[in-house]
Structure 1
């Protein structure tokens, strides 16, 4: 594929707002997980016993009056994330070059604004005929749809190209890069705002707990004693643009390849040998036209669930040499579900930009299934040329992204 320029990128997570906050916390090995202080209570009146990656300050954000119809936790986080790291300036630049109708919005989410829907049902009122109805302040249909995020971001950005919300569970905001690449390659647009947002809500916390996937203590990816994940919330965005051969900015960061697969082994468990993951990674390498040995850093999906980490470790050993530095950063942020793809793409881009490779937080004893590629300690790699990000969702829905620095 023809590389796409990454003109700007950002993430807001439990580590803080903007990519510098992410870089500082990763470098200092300072995690953002806290004991759960969010959402519905269990039978004893206490929050679900687990650790979460919560973004501070969302409750205090007020959207501009003209955006009040979209108000919910998820869209507040989208609004917050869009304010950082030059995203607005990069959008102004591509709109000036091509026109707003030639810039797409492609965003990913898993639960979108379902938290507002939960509240609406919890606060049902009796209508004049006695039929239950939503309270007036929550009787806003747009916040009760999966496309709430895409519609909101398009309205905020003023872009008028195709607007797509991708909802493929935990691969959602990785697959947006692939979708945007195809739109640009097909000549439908010249640039795209891509990203993803997911926020904590009762359905997330209790749904994953019902699957027996939530750990009571901070998650420990690839540790022999791992028992489950820690959930988080996050938002992030990137501006992608086709590269003109005369473009003076073409020596920066680029999306070089993507790979997608759907192994459909099980509704909530990966293929035990990671065959779908292998296919996605090999496909990304092939699109980028490089060998596996050229990748210096890989951000693993690494949720800290026993089945996921086992399958991914096998897949990594099958594809990459021992020289690779691969790690999971979910011990810092928690598993941010539909936002994991954009957040961990930001981590991969930071590695390319600064040569600082994060390790794996909270983990101490490597699972014997791990190959030498999976690292717990931070490292440096000056001159890093390529980095990859893995995002795998329920149903075996896999996406791998290859980023690089132009020669």
Structure 2
């Protein structure tokens, strides 16, 4: 069976407008989590967020978009996908082919415009241009139409594991012959809807998040768009390749709507299943980009699951200390960060970490360093116990 290669990447996050900028920020230990500037919220001055400092009107003007009702996820997704397509060398003919699929992930979608929709509903008889954006597939359909993608198109919303599942689903399409190449990833933006929702769960921190730290207080929400091109090795032929997607597994412990089980059943099964898919042993993994949200439940449970699986703990860290938790974009964003570790043989420092969790004693990597890696794992664990692990290997 032909290998699945990563032949293109594109990203925008709070620490950079492209892949190169994101990598440099990771190397330098840059934290993009700041005070909210893009819209008014009662929490704007109380909590930090991983905000992309680009306004919607400026992005729309950049791409000559004048149609009303285009949401911020559409604009951020457009920005990241343009970089990815240029990087992979995919032209219009290839995009329109029925063998090119697009799997997109988002959790917020057009719900970021709840205020506009409410205002329109009370101020006009003609309806609102933002109404259609409430369909979770709206961002997917916008990007498909903009780029003219001709193959299988689908939207995935499994909370924080959404774009990791988009990548895994894309791999399955290639393996089963339903596509030769797949554009996979996700996008989410900051919005009152999610800020208020996460605050009601009492898991937002009023300080910079501290993944895997004893004194962690919660997560910082962020926004990002990140996409990769997956191609069958038979199709990619002599194209450059960043990595090979060798393992992927989705597991669900169905323990609680917003918490993982104390024993880490879902995370363990996801990591173990990805290793089996890749025909690797735990000792083969050189680095783990952990889910690492900075919440009390996740970081302890993920630590327990890692210790259960790995006799010798690989180097690990969470890049959410740089970008915040980007929800539906987290899986693909952190996949790109993991691939950067692999291709450049380096690992990045965990930010804000000071003291280990007493129950497990694990210490994330705390400095930038060159590091020999053959296989990296990235974890994405969503609400409802939806857990996904991906493994990328050197091509």
- Say whether the fold is shared (TM-score over 0.5): yes
Aligned to 2:7: 7
Instruction: Give the Cα–Cα distance (whole angstroms) in 2 for the partners of residues 94 and 319 of structure 1.
Output: 45
Deviation per residue, 1:138-165 (Å, 9 max, x gap)? 4244322110111011112211111111
Distance 1:163 1:6, change over 3 A: same
Instruction: Give the Cα–Cα distance (whole angstroms) in 2 for the partners of residues 216 and 56 of structure 1.
Output: 20
Aligned to 1:399: 388
Distance 1:246 1:365, change over 3 A: closer
Aligned to 1:388: 377
Aligned to 2:278: 288
Within the candidate set 226, 237, 258, 1:236 is matched to 226
Structure 1 position 153 matched with structure 2 position 152: no
Instruction: Give the Cα–Cα distance (whole angstroms) in 2 for the partners of residues 215 and 72 of structure 1.
Output: 27
Aligned to 1:142: 132
Contact 1:107–1:166, Cα closer than 8 Å, also in 2: yes
Which range moves more in the overlay, 372-381 or 236-245?
Answer: 372-381
Q: What does residue range 360-371 of structure 1 map to in structure 2 within 5 Å?
A: 360-371=350-361
Deviation per residue, 1:227-284 (Å, 9 max, x gap)? 1000100001111111129923476411111011011000000111111100000111
Give 3-state SS (helix, strand or coil) of 1:116's partner.
helix
Deviation at 1:363, TM superposition (A): 1.2
| Structure 2 unaligned regions, length at least 5 | none
Distance 1:153 1:83, change over 3 A: same
Aligned to 1:185: 175
Deviation at 1:61, TM superposition (A): 1.2
Aligned to 2:248: 258
Contact 1:105–1:153, Cα closer than 8 Å, also in 2: no
Instruction: Give the Cα–Cα distance (whole angstroms) in 2 for the partners of residues 356 and 273 of structure 1.
Output: 31
Deviation per residue, 1:106-141 (Å, 9 max, x gap)? 01111112112332114433456xxxx64xxx4244
Deviation at 1:180, TM superposition (A): 0.7
Aligned to 1:347: 337
Within the candidate set 65, 88, 96, 1:90 is matched to 88
Aligned to 1:36: 36
Contact 2:316–2:364, Cα closer than 8 Å, also in 1: yes
Aligned to 2:295: 305
Q: What does residue range 113-152 of structure 1 map to in structure 2 within 5 Å?
A: 113-127=110-124, 134=127, 138-152=128-142
Which range moves more in the overlay, 147-156 or 295-304?
Answer: 147-156
Contact 2:96–2:151, Cα closer than 8 Å, also in 1: no
Contact 1:321–1:373, Cα closer than 8 Å, also in 2: no
Instruction: Give the Cα–Cα distance (whole angstroms) in 2 for the partners of residues 203 and 218 of structure 1.
Output: 21
Deviation at 1:9, TM superposition (A): 1.0
| Structure 1 unaligned regions, length at least 5 | none
Give 3-state SS (helix, strand or coil) of 2:160's partner.
helix
Instruction: Give the Cα–Cα distance (whole angstroms) in 2 for the partners of residues 94 and 21 of structure 1.
Output: 27
Contact 1:244–1:250, Cα closer than 8 Å, also in 2: no
Distance 1:247 1:363, change over 3 A: same
TM-score (norm 2): 0.93
Give 3-state SS (helix, strand or coil) of 1:226's partner.
coil
Structure 1 position 50 matched with structure 2 position 40: no
Contact 1:258–1:284, Cα closer than 8 Å, also in 2: yes
Distance 1:179 1:402, change over 3 A: same
Distance 1:280 1:66, change over 3 A: same
Instruction: Give the Cα–Cα distance (whole angstroms) in 2 for the partners of residues 364 and 150 of structure 1.
Output: 40
Structure 1 position 112 matched with structure 2 position 97: no
Which range moves more in the overlay, 46-55 or 299-308?
Answer: 46-55
Contact 2:376–2:392, Cα closer than 8 Å, also in 1: yes
Deviation at 1:38, TM superposition (A): 4.3
Give 3-state SS (helix, strand or coil) of 2:90's partner.
helix
Root-mean-square deviation (Å): 2.2
Distance 1:252 1:55, change over 3 A: closer
Within the candidate set 261, 268, 271, 2:261 is matched to 271
Aligned to 1:73: 72
TM-score (norm 1): 0.91
Contact 2:185–2:226, Cα closer than 8 Å, also in 1: yes
